[in-house]
Structure 1
Amino acid sequence: MRRRTVLRRLALAGTGIGLATGTTHGHPTPTGDGTAEPAAADTPTGGDPLGVLEMETVYEVVTSPDGHTAYVATGDGIALVDLVAPTSPRLIGRQTGLLAESDDGPIQRVQDLAVSGSRLLAAGPAHPADGAHGVVVFDVSDRQEPTRIAGLELDTRIHNCHFDGRYAYLTANNRDGNPLLVVDTETEQEVGEWSLLDAGDAWHDVPTSLWPLHDVWVQDDRAYLAYWDGGTWIVDVSDPTDISLVAKVRGRDPETLAAIEDPGTERSEPPGNDHFVTVDEGASLLGVGGESWDLGDDDSGGPSGIELYDISDPADAELLSTLDPPPTSDPSPGGILTTAHNFELTADRCYSAWYNGGVRVHDLTDPTAPDLAFEWRDTESTSFWTAQRAAGCFVAGSTNASQGTEVQPGLYTFPDPQIRTPTPEGSGTDDAADGTSLGVGGPGFGVGSAVAAVGLAAWRARRRRD
């Protein structure tokens, strides 16, 4: 057993927090005597949830800068959930009837949200649906009484979105070229677009079903775009009216994709399917999650994982490691889904959701060698859409939206596991011979969690500033 794993077990001893140990390639379950056995596909692993709030519908979940509130996309609108006591998540209120003033009626399927400071963006629908299409912005500085401050009806579905407090960055796959669409929410006007057609004419020859814009993340004037089999791209949005290409991180060339005989299978199985993309606080570490299944009898498909890249030089991105998906006995679309879905990179951690595969937290202190710090799954009862850090805990949304899944939707809170962080040279700390010390973590009670909450609020305020 590695020394860092021993230290982490000692740190958690007596706290009541379960811990799944091992690397990204193992999925052991702690037993009564402290040893580990392989986890069955339908067996809960790791520590138990701290709390559960059952809900009718759950899609995306984002958290407030102070980590005390979760905003949940509920299809018919949004819900606000109090996380001050992680063991008792509590519904504060709901906002429905978004764009109800439209001739087409309100948005019927809100699946994605984004938060920036005290402003919350809701967008939809993600898939073909009746009702209005567009975005709504709320002022959530008073979470008891959110106030709508902007709303704009659009002519496109919006699967995913991002927000910097003024500009909304949207996936506009109904439009020619599957572009990134930028909307100024202060003037309630569209101001810019960019698509792979701007990167090269050869994309005209590729079926657009192979390169939908599935996700967008924006930070420090750069947008990170997940273009499915078209790969992951970085563009400069410092001037949203004049978006320019920075670099292509990964993905096959258009000539290869144009020659594919079965686009339907190709877009559902590896190696493509760039589904979700995000970066850490310094935008030097990029995470790309794939979403895939197995459609045939040749075992060529299956679930995808999360790949981590060093993008300190975007033009020369370096693959550092891969977080493999949890095991599954049936990787078909209607089976036991354990492919990567949405996740967060922060504080040297990756908080990830894997549908029926549960939730995980990886220690990314060394991103070339991720260490599994926490794992929990209950295949029969949960299917997780996303995982996000909060104050003294992390939250995950369980959804019944995935194919073949019949679960009770809800918002789960989990203990935020301790990870190992570098010890500053000359600090005099001597708790580990390898120059590392145990980071703040645990179930979210006491001085340690208060310090963690303050730190969380500080970096989120910087990252999501208006």
Structure 2
Amino acid sequence: MRWRSCTARSANMLRRTRPSRRWRGSRRIEASARPRNGARGGRTAQWRRSTMQSASSAHRWRMRPSWRHADNRGPSSGARGLAVAPHLSIEEHRTMTFASARGLLLPCLLSFACAAHAQDLTPVDAGGGALSPPAVHGDYLYVGTGATLTVWSFADPGAPVVVDRSAPAGGVVRALATLGDHLYAAWNNPSGEGGITVYSLADPADPEPVAEIDDYVASEFKRPNGLAAAGQYLYVGDAENGLIVLDAADPVAPVAIGTVAGVGEFDAMGVHGGQLLTTGNSWIGGRIVNVVDIGDPAAPVLAGSTSLDGNVLLRAVLVDGYAIGVGLELQVHDLHDPANISQVFGTSIDMATHAILRGDMLYLVGASGIQVWDFNDPTQPALLRTVAMDAFAPDQAADTPFGPLVLTHADRGMLLDVADPPHPVLAAGFTLPFGVNAHAAAFDASHVYLAQEAYGLGVLDSASLQSIGRFDADLPPYLQARDMEDISLDGGRAYLAAWGYGVLVVDVADPAAPVELGRFEFPYASAIEAHGDRVYASSTTNGGYFRILDVADPAQPLELGSLATSQTYDLAVRGSHAFLADGADFGDGGLRVVDVSNPAMPALLGQDTGCAYAMGIDASADGNTVYIACASNETFASELRIVDVTDKAQPLVLGSHVLAGSAQLPEYNVAHSVVVSGTTAYVGHEYGVDEIDISEPATPVQVARHPIGYPVRKVALAPDGRVFAFAGEAGTFVFEAARGDAIFADGFD
């Protein structure tokens, strides 16, 4: 049974109302799955939603849309994840109805909405986002990918295969730990909500959520960032509440037995004998290392701590008895006497951001490749060699039973073969689904093209959303240079707005092997749209510019004309007019209407300055109506603003809808993006995506809210009507329009 956003709470709120009955979902990806010809996805795998099992019952509900392998983001429209309720008992239905009165109903009441018609969108997939440290059970590798859990089979280490991905949690999955046949996933979000999802690994290829723990500490705000496990104990590192020790003798109902206050650094945790080691960044930039005595898990004691030099170290890696600092230097700190932690080695190195200790070999991962160090004597490590390998921007690195593993911000997984330890070689390379941080998307009939943050262009099959190709831009090896902010597709070419360089022109005639055709230098490019031989691009940093390029010869794009703006966050071009969404830091904010009929002399025709910070924009096909995602209007409210631009010199506001805030902050929201389909506007904002009925432009009405817990910076509309929402480190969320009554469309199981 599906519940409407007007009358149901988000999953986050449901947790507080009924902690013993949660639902989560998982999606099994069959190795043999193949999309049907002409279909929007194969049917051999499903996105599944299931309730947590109670002692008395175990209701399961399954949603069976066309299967998708999530890995996308979108330029014109997107949405994030409101969820689907399981088959409820009468008691559960009453509980949920009560919850709805306190939760998602609030935005509806604040906007006097939700009575117009049923919501249009249904969540069908999610994936990608920030990477957690991995966990292993048998032949399977588990990684938190944004708000989801992704499972790889390493039965053949030379050819890892994605076999499963969960439905999204209430926030980004920050840490994983295994105890016996259970996997624990700690998640949190910016609203101060957090918890631990417990998965059964009875079938390790298909983790089944069996419990949700959000009462491990009596605090209104929770931020679990780290996990470690040993024996029957689970150690939870909560940045708001310190270290909490849980006795997991009952793995689905752990009990808090001990705490250590005043410890807040949990980027990494590890148990070594009677010590628990934790590390993380301090508020002033140092790298803190803590040593906790857990000889008596019920009475843990902070035995010692130290601060490593954040000016030269980017990370501290914890091993038995030592903290290894890496960055511009390699440092080794002896932790055997926690009360007297001392540095026993230090030297300058080629920059490294991760370290993996395997036996007596220390592998440092950085832009230069893999540095191999002899670590037999921790007080005198010796560099043996550097092995050239594309390990740009590593986000996670770990020693696994399959070999040293590196996961990068550039969507690459790398498994090293160290059969000959001093001479590591690449055993397997694989692509991370959806991308760690896709910013925008463009579409053709069969493919999704993603503007990726760390390298260039990712290409997905539209039906399965599996990665089929990529383009790595030849740009300097730092994230700012390779940050692709926006993308447009036209005539078999993809046009990328690369913030650190400008405009890249990419031939996608063969989507599996895109090739660069040309480029145009335009620093801080942030928005782009292509039409035939014309490309329109804009910037926001240090004052905005709007530029028009001739790409008839894609190898040599030529600037035809330009116009100074304030800071143009988004643009839409219809015919001979461009509509720009501007911020007010370097001039007038709001809407700019520009005549581009003479590309050599683009001319400002009209403005609407009632919105000081216009962040996103869409326009009707005839160019007479503009829809603005307004972050701050005349009264500092965030709104969807509808403007009649039939008279280009005199834009006229037809109507607006103020976006409601959250339950915690009912007056606060920020609109980031908008895309329009028919009579519905999809607005990405601080908390997710709103569906707004614009059939009456003077009185737009909110129909539904799809809460994600993270800001949706971009929404994109695919040709088949799916909506893609890009939520940064939380990942990408995919929705499709409902068919028939949203409550009964899928029936019951």
TM-score scaled to structure 2, two decimals?
A: 0.31
Structure number having the greater strand percentage: 2
Structure number having the greater helix percentage: 1
TM-score scaled to structure 1, two decimals?
A: 0.48
